[in-house]
Structure 1
Amino acid sequence: MRLQQAIGRTSFWVFGGGLAIMFLVPLIWTAVASVSPHGATAQQEGYGFNNYRTLTEYDAGLPTYLWNSAYVSILTVVFTLVLSLLGGYAFARFRFPGRDALFLLIIAILMVPYATLLVPLWVLMGELGLRNSLTGLALVLTLYQLPFSMFMMRISFEAVPREIEESALVDGCGTFGVLRRVLVFAVWPGMITVGLFAFLHAWNDFIAPLFMINDSSRYPLSLAIATLRQQTMGAVDFGATQAGVVIMALPCLLLFVLLQRHYVRGFMSGALKG
């Protein structure tokens, strides 16, 4: 038995270490390449940060693009959390005609290709006066995140024992009082998972900004890096592109490291319910 356990632990660590190396090597290679000398980049001799300087000085400037990405990502997270929290609570706790059919219809949106949804959303945002707007872009990204987020919050609420909610109702809380004072804290890991997914999607998305934003001063960082890639006679500036990739990856890595415990608990709550 001890030999089998030792073999199992060794296999686990070898497999996990191999996966970690497979994912980390491209990131480390990109970070090193962004400061390495190369003739076709701004950093032609020695190691330095000229590629980052090129990215900082490009068009509207790196601070503007970072602010645009942060604004869109935070707004997407807020919209997604509010709507999925209310929707997940309704689907998990209330019974109404067509509840399951409506929920399946929402989930079915995940099977629709992302690009095909952008054309009608582009028309809709134009009618609302939100085309070429960061707020309109956040709404578009929120709409695409809602099916998964609604599913995640529903299973998070269903994993909470009903006795907790009933005790709060007996103590005099109303429906929204129970949600605000009790259930929000019980489904906190699920909210962290939903918020993290929404942030990562909004921060890294390229297609929706390409459709929705025409003004270069409103570009998020992902779109700015794409336009920076080809500047002179179609030549690709790999150095500045790699610097942009590093800058885009840092907030995602930091958030994941800080929230990974809640992220795993959020998924486990749905697994235990199932």
Structure 2
Amino acid sequence: MTTTQHHQGRIRYHRLVFHITAVFVAGLFLAPLVWVILASFRSPEESSRPPLPPWPTQGFSLSSYERLEQFGQSMLHCAGNSLFVAVGTTMLTIVIALLAGYGFSRYRFPFKNLVFLLILSTMMVPFQSILAPLFLLLSKMGLQNTLTGLVFIYTTLQLPFSVFMMRNAFDSVPKAIEEAARMDGIKGIRMLVQVMGPLVMPAVVTVGLFAFLNAWNEFLAALVLLTDQSKFTLPVMMTAVRSGRYGSVDWGAVQAGVTLMMIPCMILFLILQRSYIRGLTAGAVK
């Protein structure tokens, strides 16, 4: 066997080990998802017991999803509340982070580094420690027990990381591009939208995806700030489903709710994963 053949054999061996390891790791991550999805299709008799084993033994059934729709406020209504909060948080976070990141990257003003450091330092403050002041603040503003107030809270929590991401993304764009655009007569907001915006789009997608997923899945703030059942988001509703009636847990409805909550997150990530990865490597890792 020649040296070249031996080298090619080692490459094939390493590729085989890599693919086997990758399949095994992927299986570990996918197993809980498959377990939840299968458990949501169990029959009513099987749903009254803990989902072990998860696969239906009496045939697939949609009864768990039907019971979930009839539980308190309908699943569709709570999904609409969660969608409003998640989309509102995403849009508001992107707009503020885009403007703030561009300002910190391209403009000079007094105490710029100190202000940026103070913004980042808020990431170290536990959210639970400021929940009571936020509750009182929203009450004074008349936004307590409203989805709009929840949007403002989630946006505030997302901004430190988002501003950090956008500033690094703008820093990675050569200033020569901006100078060339100015020579063509492009200034102000047109510079941000037409020239700089497309160049930092992966970071914008990353910021938006983080904001949407965190707002979609957040539970504690929604539980504390919302008291009207008609305004509950999906995580709060799932807590009520998990508590059950008279101490009994409808495991089928729980798994059906978890499955429905996963769908938007999985779809968004699969669609935007290319831009998401580029945004992380070009922004936060810089």
**TM-score normalised by L of structure 2:** 0.90
Number of residue-to-residue matches in the alignment? 272
Alignment partner, residue 53 of structure 2: none
Q: Is the 8 A contact 2:101 2:170 kept in 1?
A: yes
Alignment partner, residue 40 of structure 1: 48
Following superposition, the deviation at residue 97 of structure 1 comes to 1.9
Alignment partner, residue 12 of structure 1: 18
2:215 is matched with which residue: 198, 202, 227?
202
Alignment partner, residue 268 of structure 2: 255
Q: Is the 8 A contact 2:241 2:250 kept in 1?
A: yes
Alignment partner, residue 180 of structure 2: 167
- What pairs up with 1:83-98 in 2 under 5 angstroms? 83-98=96-111
> CA–CA distance in 2 between the matches of 1:119 and 1:271?
31
Alignment partner, residue 58 of structure 1: 71
Determine helix, strand or coil for the equivalent of 1:236. Answer: coil
Alignment partner, residue 3 of structure 2: none
Following superposition, the deviation at residue 4 of structure 1 comes to 4.5
Determine helix, strand or coil for the equivalent of 1:173. Answer: coil
> CA–CA distance in 2 between the matches of 1:135 and 1:92?
30
> CA–CA distance in 1 between the matches of 2:151 and 2:284?
30
1:27 and 2:33 matched: yes
Alignment partner, residue 219 of structure 1: 232
* Gaps in structure 2 of 5+ consecutive residues: 1-6, 50-55
Q: Structure 1 residues 175, 5: CA separation in 2 closer, same or farther (over 3 Å shift)?
A: farther
> CA–CA distance in 2 between the matches of 1:82 and 1:105?
20
CA-to-aligned-CA distance 1:47-87 (integer Å, 9 cap, x gap): 20111011111112111111101000000001100010001
Following superposition, the deviation at residue 45 of structure 1 comes to 5.7
> CA–CA distance in 2 between the matches of 1:3 and 1:175?
59
2:129 is matched with which residue: 98, 116, 120?
116
CA-to-aligned-CA distance 1:192-215 (integer Å, 9 cap, x gap): 010001000011111110011100
CA-to-aligned-CA distance 1:4-31 (integer Å, 9 cap, x gap): 4334433432332222111110000000
> CA–CA distance in 1 between the matches of 2:284 and 2:124?
22
1:237 and 2:255 matched: no
Determine helix, strand or coil for the equivalent of 1:68. Answer: helix
Following superposition, the deviation at residue 234 of structure 1 comes to 1.8
What RMSD, in angstroms, separates the aligned Cα atoms of the two structures?
Answer: 1.8
> CA–CA distance in 2 between the matches of 1:175 and 1:14?
53
Identity within the alignment, %: 40
Q: Structure 1 residues 149, 234: CA separation in 2 closer, same or farther (over 3 Å shift)?
A: same
Following superposition, the deviation at residue 44 of structure 1 comes to 10
Alignment partner, residue 82 of structure 1: 95
Alignment partner, residue 101 of structure 1: 114
Determine helix, strand or coil for the equivalent of 2:244. Answer: strand
> CA–CA distance in 2 between the matches of 1:158 and 1:5?
39
* More deviation, 208-217/172-181: 172-181
* Gaps in structure 1 of 5+ consecutive residues: none
Letter in 2 for 1:32: L
**TM-score normalised by L of structure 1:** 0.94
